[in-house]
Amino acid sequence: MSEVIIEVKDLMFTYGKSQVKAVDGLSFKVKKGEIFGLLGPSGAGKSTTQKILTRLLKGYGGTITYLGKDLSAYDNTFYEDIGVGFELPVHFSKLTGEENMAFFSRLYRKQVDVAPLLKRVGLYEDKDKMVGSYSKGMKMRLNFVRALLNDPKVLFLDEVTNGLDPKNARIIKDMIRAFKEQGGTVILTTHLMNDVEELCDNIAFISGGRIKEIATPRELKIKYGKRILDVEYALNGKTKQNTFDLDGLSNNDTFMSILKNHDIETMHSGETSLDDIFIKVTGESIHE
């Protein structure tokens, strides 16, 4: 049993004048060393949840415990422990990337060497340029570096790959995985299936402020995937296709004879994409 870092029970939140609950009864646990994904379409309540977990929004219903203690019992030293990546750029536009990092760094007791991080995300060359001149993707990469400045134990990342090209998204994802491998815990909120599929140990499907399902990507695929096997094989110089039920496959004579007597061209289990599973579970598409 690994240690529970964050436990959320019946979390509710309504914005000031709003009539609808932005978050409506969320419950989940995040364990040490895992990457926990909150996946849902725009407006599902992901950023709101992150803001509550990082103590920015107060006045929520339900309980949140961090390392076994109520979140509200912590003082501001809580922030020495965590790193937060926002979904929007959050920097002084007329300061350079390096000046921004230096300023925020000094607010923490523990500080990391910023240069290697900037090099890793490909911003080192641009560190002396004003952030105002950065592209959206560069600003998001700087956001990510900013989240790591205090060598945090827990990372909260909101749409961390948003606006990044595939190459840079790859770098960030590798860094997240490396963070986990060094014992870090990550709460990732995103509307991008790719991110959770590649990174997350557990996924919560969230829609309309509610969690519809929590499971590992594998469990989801097993539970919602079609239990079938598509086989394509060569027969008299032509491709033939056959579909089998996964259950009782070892006793299926047709299948066995195809394996024995023909050249198999392709074989696919009836895996459903997480996209499809999301629609199945929430009744809603993740893309607008």
Ligand X SMILES: Nc1ncnc2c1ncn2[C@@H]1O[C@H](COP(=O)(O)OP(=O)(O)O)[C@@H](O)[C@H]1O
What residues line the site for other proteins (CB under 8 A)? 15-16, 51, 54, 56-57, 76-80, 82, 84, 86, 88-95, 99, 103-104, 106-109, 146
CA separation for the pair 70, 6 (Å, rounded): 10
DSSP string, 248-281: TGGG-HHHHHHHHHS-EEEEEE-PPPHHHHHHHH
Binding status of residue 11 toward ligand X by CB under 6 A? no
Whole-number minimum distance, CB 171 to other proteins, in Å? 22
| 137 touches ligand X by CB under 6 A | no
Q: Which stretch binds ligand X (CB under 6 A): 15-23, 63-71, 238-246, 269-277?
A: 15-23
Binding window for Mg ion (CB under 5 A); candidates: 38-46, 61-69, 90-98, 204-212: 38-46
19 binds ligand X (CB under 6 A): no
Select the residue interacting with ligand X from 3, 10, 15, 273 (CB under 6 A). Answer: 15
From candidates 6, 13, 47, 154, binder to Mg ion by CB under 5 A: 47
Residue 94 binding partner per list ligand X, other proteins, Mg ion, none, with a CB distance cut-off of 5 to 8 Å that depends on partner kind: other proteins
Site for ligand X in 30-89 (CB under 6 A): 40, 42-48
Judge whether 27 and 9 are in contact, CB under 8 Å: yes
The CA R_g of the chain, rounded to the nearest whole Å, is 23
CA–CA dist 40, 37 (Å, integer)? 10
Q: Is residue 168 a contact residue for ligand X (CB under 6 A)?
A: no
Task: Verify binding: residue 133, ligand X, rule CB under 6 A.
Answer: no
Min dist CB 43 to ligand X, Å, is 4
How many residues line the site for Mg ion (CB under 5 A)? Answer: 2
Contact of 152 with 183, CB cutoff 8 Å: no
The rounded Cα 101 to chain-centroid distance in angstroms is: 24
**For residues 36 and 30, is the Cβ–Cβ distance under 8 A?**
yes
- Pull the structure tokens for residue 168: 């840079």
Q: Residue 188: helix, strand or coil by DSSP?
A: strand
Question: In 91-188, where does DSSP find H-type helix?
Answer: 97-105, 114-120, 136-148, 166-181
Residues lying near Mg ion in the complex (CB under 5 A) are found at: 46-47
Give the residues lining the site for ligand X (CB under 6 A).
Answer: 15, 18, 22, 40, 42-48
